[in-house]
Chains A and B, each alone.
Chain A
Amino acid sequence: MSAVDTWVSAFHARSAQQPGAALPWLADLRRQAIYRFADEGWPTRRHPRWQHTSLAFMDQQDFAANAVAPDAAAALARLRGDDAGHWLVFVGGRFNAELSDIGALPAGVQLTSLADALDQHPEAVQAAFGSATDGDSPAALNLALATDGAWLRLPRGVALEAPVHLVFITNATDASQHLRNLIVAEANSEATIVEHYLGEGEATTLTTAATRLQVDADARITHLKLQQEAEPAIHLASINATQARGAHFASHSLSFGARLARNDIHTRFDGEGCDTLLNGLYHLDGRRHVDHHTSINHAQPRGNSREFYRGLLDGNSRGVFTGRIIVAKDAQRSDAMQRCDNLLLSRAAEADARPELEIYADDVKCAHGATVGQMDEDSLFYLQTRGLDDAHARRLLTYAFAAEALDRIALLPLRKQARAALMARLPGGELLEELL
C-alpha cells in the first residue's frame, strides 16, 4: 500500500468522527479534497512550485507518534508566562479546553475552536472555509483531514487589544495533526494572531496547517507564526490572505524547527490601497530544509507591499525562498519591494532565493534583491579586538543578522518571545541573554 493510499484510507476511517461530519457541504468538500490529493499525490521537483523541495519521499515515509508526549501544560506555562491575552491550545490537533484561556472578548467577537464554530455558525464557517482546489496537494490533504483549529471573527470596527495566541502541541497518540484556522476580520477591525507550533521527541510526525484570513476594508491584521516543531518533524503549511480596500496585513513567519518545513504564504489585494508586510526568518542546521513560497498579488491599484526574508543556514541545511509578485494590468501605482538575505554559517549550507516578478501594469515601483553571504570578517575582527572570543563574536553577529527580522515585529512582547525562541536555537544563546 503506498503512502497516498494510507492517507486516503485514514480519511475514510476517520471521516465520520470529523467535526461537522453531518454537514453535507463539508463532507462533500472533504471528499473532493481527498480525491484531489489521491489524484495528484505528493508534489515532486517536476512541479513548478516545488522545484527545490520534493515531497516524493513522503510515499515511503512512516510517521509515528512520539513515545512520550511533551508536557503540554508546562510548555504552555513557559510560553505564556504571565501574559493575560487570549490563549487557545490544541493538543494532537484537537482543542484542549482545560489548557485554553480565551479570556474576555469585546461584544460580538467570535473566538472558538473550529469544531465549536461548525456547531454554532456553520454558514459563516462555510463562507470562509476555502475550496478543494486551493493551493497544492498538501493543502487538499489538510482540508480533507483537518480535525480542528481556531475560528476568529471580528465584527466591524472592533479591535482586540491583546494578541490571540494559538498553541499547537504534538501528543503521544497521533502521528499526524491537521489544523485549519479561519480568520474573518470585518471592516475596520484590528487584531494580532500568533500561531505557535511546539513539539518534542524523536519520532517523525507530520503537521499540516492552513490558515485563511479575510481582511475586509481598512482592517488591520498581524499574523505571526512561530514554528518550533521537534527536529524530526515534517511541517507543511499555508497562509492565505485576501485584502479588501485599504486593508493592512502583516505576516511574520519564523521557522526554527522541523526537519522539513514548507510555508506557502499568499496575499491578494482585492481593493485599492492595500498594504502588506511579509517578514520571515529561518534558522537551520543539520540536514534540515525550509522552503518559503510566497506570493503577493497586486490585483488592484495603489497597493504597497514590503517583503523581507532572512535565513541563517548552518550544517548541511538548505533554505529556499521564492517571492512571487504579480502586478495586474490595471494595478497602477503599485509599489512592491522584496529582499531575501541569507547568512551561511557553514560551507555545506545552501541558500536559494528566487524572485518571480510578473508585472503587467506600467506605472509601478518594484525593487527586489537577494544576497547569500558569509560572516563579515571586518565585523568579526572588530569584535575580537575588543576582547570577545571568536565564538562569542560569531554568535553576536549571527544574532545581529537575525535581529533585523525580529525588529520588524512591532509588538514588543511578541518580539521578545520570538527572540527567546531564536536564542534557544543558537548555540551559546545564553551568552546573549542580556540582549533580551
Chain B
Amino acid sequence: MLDIKNLKASVEGKDILKGLDLQVKAGEVHAIMGPNGSGKSTLSQVLAGRDTFQVDGGSVTWDGQDLLAMPIEERARAGLFLAFQYPVEIPGVSNAYFLKAAVNAIRKHRGLPEFDAMDFLTRVKAEMKAVGMKEEFLYRAVNEGFSGGEKKRNEVLQMALLEPRLAILDETDSGLDIDALKVVADGVNRLRSPDRALIVITHYQRLLDYIVPDHVHVLSQGRIVRSGGRELALELEEKGYGWIGDAGEIHAAPPAAGGAQ
C-alpha cells in the first residue's frame, strides 16, 4: 500500500529525514517510536503533503502512484489520513461545517452521494457518541479552546468519519487520560480491516496494549534504526533508547545535531 524508499527531507537547510525506508501493507499496524526530535512528525507531515518540508531524495509510492506528486487534498481523498500531533484551531469555522465539508469532499471523490444536513447529523452524532464527545462540540469553532484531550478526540472523530485506508496517528495518545486512551484505541480498532492500514506514532507502550501492532520501528536521527515485533516496544519502555545506540546502529548514521537522548 505504502512504500517509502530512502526518503530524505529537510527544513530550512536542516536535514531531518536522512534516508528512511518503510513498507506498509494493507491490514497491517505499524508503530513508530523514537526520541523527541527524531523526525516522526516530519515523516507524517511529509506524507500528508506539508510543503514547509523539502523532499531532497527518495520516493514514496502509494498504490503504485507517486504520493509526493499528489496535491494534499488528493492524498486525503485517496484515503490517507493524518491525526495531527498538534491539531490546528480555526476560529470562525464551526466544527459541524468543517466535518461536513471534509466528509463530502471525500464522499464525492469516492463517487458516493454527498450527505445532506440530516444524514450528516445522524452520522456525526453516532460517531461523536462513540468517541465520547458532547454534541456542543459540533457548534464550537474547530478545535478553538478545546482541551488537549478534546482536540485528540476530535481527530479520532474525523478519522472515523473519513474512513481512511491509511491512518497515521501522530501521538494521538499524548495527554490523554486512561478512559480517553481506550476511546481512541476503540476508534482505531473499529476501523481496522484487512484493506486498511495504520501507522501509530507514540512514546508509550501503553497504547500498544490496546492497538496491537504487527511491526514496531524505532526512528532516530531521521532513519529507522531498528524494527521488530511488539516485544520491541516493551523493551524500549523498559530500557529507553540508549541501548539501541549501544547496538551501534545509531552510530552508523552520519553525526548530526541533536540525536537520541
Contact = CB atoms under 8 A, between A and B. Distances in A.
A386 B158 contact: yes
A384 B88 contact: no
Contacts of B84: 382
Instruction: From B50, B52, B72, B97, name the one whose CB has the most chain A CB atoms within 10 angstroms.
Output: B72
A350 B129 CA distance: 47
B101 interface: yes
A12 to B, nearest CB: 52
16 contacts: A378-B88, A379-B90, A381-B50, A382-B87, A383-B98, A386-B98, A386-B101, A386-B158, A387-B76, A387-B106, A388-B73, A390-B73, A400-B91, A402-B92, A403-B93, A435-B94
A133 B207 CA distance: 74
Interface in A416-436: 434-435
A396 B48 CA distance: 20
Instruction: From B82, B90, B97, name the one whose CB has the most chain A CB atoms within 10 angstroms.
Output: B90
B124 interface: no
A381 B72 contact: yes
A385 B90 contact: no
B92 A399 contact: yes
Interface in B158-204: 158, 162
Interface residues of A, number: 25
A337 B50 CA distance: 38
Interface string B83-123: 01001101111100110111001100100000001000000
Interface string A89-119: 0000000000000000000000000000000
Contacts of A62: none
B97 A384 contact: no
A388 B88 contact: no
A383 B93 CA distance: 11
Q: List 4 A-B pairs, minimum CB-CB distance, nearest first.
A: A400-B92, A387-B105, A403-B92, A386-B102
Interface of A: 377-379, 381-390, 392, 396-397, 399-404, 407, 434-435
A400 B102 contact: no
Nearest to B52: A377
Given A379-B90, A400-B92, A385 B76 contact: yes
B49 interface: yes
A386 B77 CA distance: 8
B100 A434 contact: yes
Contacts of A378: 88
Contact of A387 (B50, B97, B141, B162): B162
A351 B73 CA distance: 31
Interface string B128-158: 0000000000000100000000000000001
A64 B92 CA distance: 41
A386 B97 CA distance: 12
Contacts of B75: 385
Given A378-B88, A434-B100, A386 B105 contact: yes
B88 A382 contact: yes
Given A387-B106, A388-B105, A382 B90 contact: yes
Contacts of B48: 381, 385
A316 B42 CA distance: 37
B49 A385 contact: yes
Contacts of B117: 434
A314 to B, nearest CB: 18
Interface of B: 48-50, 52, 71-73, 75-77, 81-82, 84, 87-88, 90-94, 97-98, 100-102, 105-106, 109, 117, 141, 158, 162
Contacts of B90: 379, 382-383, 397, 400
Nearest to B50: A381
Contacts of A382: 84, 87-88, 90
B77 to A, nearest CB: 5
Given A379-B88, A382-B87, A387 B93 contact: no
A385 B102 CA distance: 9
B91 A404 contact: yes
Nearest to B80: A385
A280 to B, nearest CB: 16
A382 B45 CA distance: 10
A401 B98 CA distance: 15
Contacts of A401: 92
Given A381-B48, A384-B76, A402-B92, 13 more contacts: A378-B88, A382-B88, A383-B90, A384-B49, A385-B72, A386-B105, A387-B73, A388-B101, A388-B102, A392-B101, A396-B101, A399-B92, A404-B91
Nearest to B101: A388
B95 to A, nearest CB: 12
B72 A384 contact: yes
A369 to B, nearest CB: 16
Given A434-B117, A435-B97, A387 B92 contact: no
Contacts of B52: 377
Contact of A389 (B73, B81, B88, B94): B73
A403 B141 CA distance: 11
Nearest to A403: B92
B102 A387 contact: yes
A407 B71 CA distance: 34
Nearest to B72: A384
A377 B45 CA distance: 13
Nearest to A401: B92
A386 B162 contact: yes
A434 to B, nearest CB: 7
A388 B93 CA distance: 14
Contacts of B105: 386-389, 392
